[in-house]
């Protein structure tokens, strides 16, 4: 069964203010800047800030397939260069729109977090 079942039909992972799955906007952000391979994303994700040294390959490839199923990204096999064939992922307009939805969610979370941190500060 699809582990993304029960999500809304737009494929937007930011529905209902869920605060996890930062991997989705992180991937969209990196692909917005320029197209990349999955393996590249695995190395680049930690630069976004939500990940430590490495990101889980399983999570990345499953998320990429989910994003592709929902027309957020497109891919094509790239047989040039050395090493095994790789898929080059490119963000679509829907993907960009989706990241902008995420942006609103992230800002609202940012506000809540700032507020909570201020509250704790006042305790001391």
Partner DNA sequence: ACTTCTATATGTAAATTACATATAGAGGTG
Partner DNA sequence: CACCTCTATATGTAATTTACATATAGAAGT
If contact means CB under 5 to 8 A according to the sort of partner, which of DNA, a copy of itself, none does residue 69 touch? none
Strand 73-78 and strand 86-91: the pairing is antiparallel
Which residues within the stretch 13-42 sit at the binding site for DNA (CB under 7 A)? 16, 18, 20-21, 23, 37-40, 42
Alpha carbon dihedral 25, 45, 21, 109, in 10-degree steps, equals -60
Length of the chain: 124
Asked whether position 109 contacts DNA by CB under 7 A, the answer is no
Give the nearer residue to a copy of itself in terms of CB position, either 54 or 114.
Answer: 114
Asked whether position 49 contacts DNA by CB under 7 A, the answer is no
* Tokens of residue 69, six digits: 């199923």
Given the rule CB under 8 A, which residues bind a copy of itself? 17, 19-20, 22, 25-26, 29, 32-33, 48-50, 52, 99, 103, 106-107, 109-117, 119-120, 123
Helices 93-123 and 23-33: crossing angle in degrees, nearest 10, is 130
State in angstroms the smallest separation of the CB of 116 from DNA. 15
Give the nearer residue to DNA in terms of CB position, either 16 or 119.
Answer: 16
The rounded distance, in Å, linking the Cα atoms of 57 and 27 is 12
């Amino acid at each position: 069964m699809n582990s993304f079942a029960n999500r809304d039909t737009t494929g937007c992972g930011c529905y209902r203010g869920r605060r996890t799955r930062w991997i989705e906007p992180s991937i969209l952000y990196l692909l917005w800047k320029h197209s990349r391979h999955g393996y590249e994303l695995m190395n680049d994700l930690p630069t976004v800030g939500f990940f430590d040294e490495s990101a889980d390959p399983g999570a990345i490839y499953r998320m990429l397939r989910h994003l592709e199923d929902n027309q957020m990204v497109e891919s094509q096999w790239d047989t040039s260069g050395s090493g095994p064939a790789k898929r080059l992922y490119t963000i679509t307009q829907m993907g960009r729109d989706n990241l902008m939805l995420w942006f609103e969610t992230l800002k609202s979370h940012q506000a809540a977090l700032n507020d909570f941190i201020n509250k704790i500060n006042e305790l001391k």
